[in-house]
Chain A
Amino acid sequence: MNNWQRQHPAAILVSFFQGLRQLIVSFVVIFIFGSTSGGMRLLYTAGIMLVILTGSLIVSAVSWYRFEFRLIEEELQVKQGLFVRKKRYIRRNRVQSIHINAPVPQRFFGLVEVSIETAGGGDEPEFTLSALPVEKAEQIRGELLYGSEKEEIFAGEISSGMDQALSEPVEEKPRRTWELGFRRLLLAAVTSSGVGIAATFAAALLSQLPQFLPDWLLGIALGWIVQSSLVYIGLFIVTVLLLAWIFTILSTVIKYGQFQVTEQNGELFISKGLIEKKQLTIQQHRINAVRIVQNVLRQPLGYCAVYIESAGGGTKDEDFSTILLPMCKKSQVPELLETMAPDFAFTPEFHPLPRTAVRRYMIKPLIPITAGAAAASYFLPFGWLIWILLVPAALLGYLQYKSAGLALSDRHVFLRWRTLSLEEAFLPRPRIQSVAFTQNPLQRNAGLFSLHMSVLTTVTGKTFSLKHTGDDQKEDVMSWYSYQNGSPNASDIDRAHAETVE
């Protein structure tokens, strides 16, 4: 691997397919909006599409040709670019995590995709080699994670298949594996909180449906709806929810099917995915925070999901965190974390917020509902019904107050809060980059503060907040976090300034 080399030629097709996927979306958009706005010239559209397709194929081929990489000692070097030549050297000690994925197009050729996450560094945190044979991917991962001293171990293992991709280079300590399993996967799918998002999507889709129905059918349907509107609106909502639910179940099963975490020598290997197989390697000491989430459906069952926050890794659909355990018993979390992330294996005892905070928590959800209900009862015939929502809103506020809590240990701070789902965050003191306390005028009257703690996660930081803590809790956190021994005095500062002047 010491010479400059190109990716597998299939990379051309892969990037072409990726381009195609985006084109399909725009094609569908053109089709939907174009067809409604009158006779679109089909031939004209097809011609444009053909030109775009050929163009993107040529671009794919040239950029494949211009993309060269080589692996030298503990470093991956890459040259790329059509007109502007870019060179990128990734050193081993800058690597945060490495994913090996096998998306569907690559699978046809028995290839994998390697993504390398480096810490910080501007707008391109991730670096991707899109089509490599498994053994080369393994070699790059080995070199960038373990360095050359352990390279020989790979030599014997270069064999076929994705099963081998998880193979560990060092066999010193036993590996410990946790599998999601079918039962928990199903439970995770059924109780997934993605329903809301899927429901909006399904509603949008269904509301577009009349455009594609023939006029006579639409006429009949409209007649029915006018006759007994409430029943049909109800039916519409039920259909939407059911569709959304089925959709989330399917997507969860596809996303987290065959989920497995393995711990060995301070490293976590996470592999998941039914259709597109994803693998992720993350070092335990790179974990900056752990987050435990119990959504409304899972909390009564005693189940939760566990996420880890680290500088590398993290995807958009997981809120820039990495999922460690998609579904497990809440009571088992400390025990599981003992192996998976020993620095975070705690069962904190949360201290509640002061009683004065109840009002702040309860009033907040009431305000938008009150405004909405006032407007609705003025403008809509049955608008006053919205006032009923005040009850669940107040209840939610009360639950938010009850859930909120704070705990401190020598090295960790533990936060618990609820938006709708109940969430806990475990943050070690050395990983908290800065702490802020804020107070708005209403909080000032009640002597309350909000805490904000920032931790490094993918690309940018993430801030964990706890609203309406008491004054004593604020002081506790401040003295716990502060690195200043005793109370600072002005002479120290002056001395510090004086020294620099000299």
Chain B
Amino acid sequence: MRPLPDHSLAPELLRVWRISSLGSTLFLCIFPLGYFGASLLWDLPLWIMYILIGGVVLLGLFDIIFMQRWKWKRWKYAVYEDEVELLRGVIIRERVIIPMIRVQHVDTRQGPLLRHYGLASVTISTAATIHEIPGLKEADADELRDSIARLAREADPDE
């Protein structure tokens, strides 16, 4: 059996994920709001609105408190000399192997939220696929990007 990847993402990333999850929960509020708007125009039972509100709140809390933590816990990566390995997913688990010689380029990216927490994501592109390590400390991300780039350059392209 091959060992599983063991490097975790930056702990601050969990907070970033929770904030963006809060954002999408707020977006879900358009359903109860829309229903409320409709109930002003037509005669509709209000209890459905309370169910919708309850549903959104429960879903949001579950997502923010548990799902994001599980997702963070599950996300592991490892960079070996000849390949990069990723492991992720709460419900559907995925394990990806990307050989260094197939790597075409590596980028680091930083949105405003990630920048605020001093994080960056690393994107690894092959000719056919794009993979992302979503959040590392800026310095780690830069270092990882450079080391993947260097290893990819060194890898023997003939094999």
A residues in contact with B21, CB < 8 Å: none
For residue B159, CB closer than 8 A to chain A, the reply is yes
Cα distance A437–B101 in the bound complex, in angstroms: 20
For residue B114, CB closer than 8 A to chain A, the reply is no
Flag if A436 contacts B102 (CB, 8 Å). Answer: no
A residues in contact with B1, CB < 8 Å: 475
By beta carbon, the residue of chain A nearest B1 is A475
For residue B97, CB closer than 8 A to chain A, the reply is yes
For residue A91, CB closer than 8 A to chain B, the reply is no
Q: A434-B98, A436-B95, A496-B151 are in contact. Are A484 and B82 (CB under 8 A)?
A: yes
Spot the interface stretch: B31-39, B62-70, B122-130.
B122-130
Flag if A484 contacts B127 (CB, 8 Å). Answer: no
For residue B79, CB closer than 8 A to chain A, the reply is yes
A residues in contact with B56, CB < 8 Å: none
> For chain B residues 67-96, which have a beta carbon within 8 Å of chain A?
78-83, 89, 91-96
Flag if A120 contacts B91 (CB, 8 Å). Answer: no
Q: A483-B83, A493-B80 are in contact. Are A499 and B96 (CB under 8 A)?
A: no
Cα distance A455–B101 in the bound complex, in angstroms: 14
Flag if B128 contacts A437 (CB, 8 Å). Answer: no
* Distance in Å: Cβ of B74 to nearest Cβ of chain A: 12
Q: 1/0 contact trace for A430-442 toward B, CB 8 Å?
A: 1011111111110
Flag if B101 contacts A483 (CB, 8 Å). Answer: yes
**CB-contact partner of B82 in A440, A475, A483, under 8 A:** A483
Flag if A434 contacts B128 (CB, 8 Å). Answer: yes
Flag if B93 contacts A444 (CB, 8 Å). Answer: yes
Cα distance A214–B96 in the bound complex, in angstroms: 63
Q: How large is the interface on B (under 10, 10 to 19, 20 to 34, 35 or more residues)?
A: 35 or more
Q: A434-B96, A487-B3 are in contact. Are A501 and B143 (CB under 8 A)?
A: yes
For residue B132, CB closer than 8 A to chain A, the reply is no
Q: A434-B98, A483-B99 are in contact. Are A496 and B81 (CB under 8 A)?
A: yes
B residues in contact with A434, CB < 8 Å: 96-99, 102, 126, 128-129, 131
A residues in contact with B147, CB < 8 Å: 496-497, 499-500
**CB-contact partner of B126 in A433, A475, A478, A484, under 8 A:** A433
A residues in contact with B6, CB < 8 Å: 490
Flag if A436 contacts B94 (CB, 8 Å). Answer: yes
A residues in contact with B159, CB < 8 Å: 430, 483
Cα distance A478–B6 in the bound complex, in angstroms: 17
Cα distance A430–B127 in the bound complex, in angstroms: 12
B residues in contact with A17, CB < 8 Å: none
Flag if B97 contacts A500 (CB, 8 Å). Answer: no
Cα distance A440–B80 in the bound complex, in angstroms: 27
* Distance in Å: Cβ of B1 to nearest Cβ of chain A: 7
Chain B interface mostly helix, strand, loop or mixed?
A: mixed
For residue B141, CB closer than 8 A to chain A, the reply is no
Flag if B129 contacts A482 (CB, 8 Å). Answer: no
> For chain A residues 104-140, which have a beta carbon within 8 Å of chain B?
120
- Which of A434, A462, A478, A484 is packed against the most chain B CB atoms within 10 Å? A434
Flag if B143 contacts A481 (CB, 8 Å). Answer: no
Flag if A482 contacts B3 (CB, 8 Å). Answer: no
For residue B100, CB closer than 8 A to chain A, the reply is yes
A residues in contact with B150, CB < 8 Å: 499-500
Q: A478-B2, A482-B83, A483-B82 are in contact. Are A437 and B94 (CB under 8 A)?
A: yes
Flag if B146 contacts A496 (CB, 8 Å). Answer: no
A residues in contact with B93, CB < 8 Å: 438-439, 444
For residue A456, CB closer than 8 A to chain B, the reply is yes
Flag if A440 contacts B143 (CB, 8 Å). Answer: no
Cα distance A267–B150 in the bound complex, in angstroms: 35
* Distance in Å: Cβ of A40 to nearest Cβ of chain B: 36
Q: 1/0 contact trace for A454-495 toward B, CB 8 Å?
A: 111100111100000000000100110111110110101100
B residues in contact with A433, CB < 8 Å: 98, 102, 126-129
* Distance in Å: Cβ of A54 to nearest Cβ of chain B: 45
Cα distance A432–B102 in the bound complex, in angstroms: 8
Flag if A439 contacts B96 (CB, 8 Å). Answer: no
B residues in contact with A430, CB < 8 Å: 159
A residues in contact with B128, CB < 8 Å: 433-434, 454-457, 460-463
A residues in contact with B89, CB < 8 Å: 438
Cα distance A461–B101 in the bound complex, in angstroms: 17
> Could you name 6 residue pairs across A and B whose Cβ atoms are closer than 8 Å?
A436-B95, A437-B94, A482-B99, A483-B82, A483-B99, A484-B80
Kindly list 5 other residue pairs between chains A and B, CB separation below 8 angstroms, not including A461-B128, A493-B7, A497-B147: A311-B127, A433-B98, A456-B128, A500-B147, A500-B150
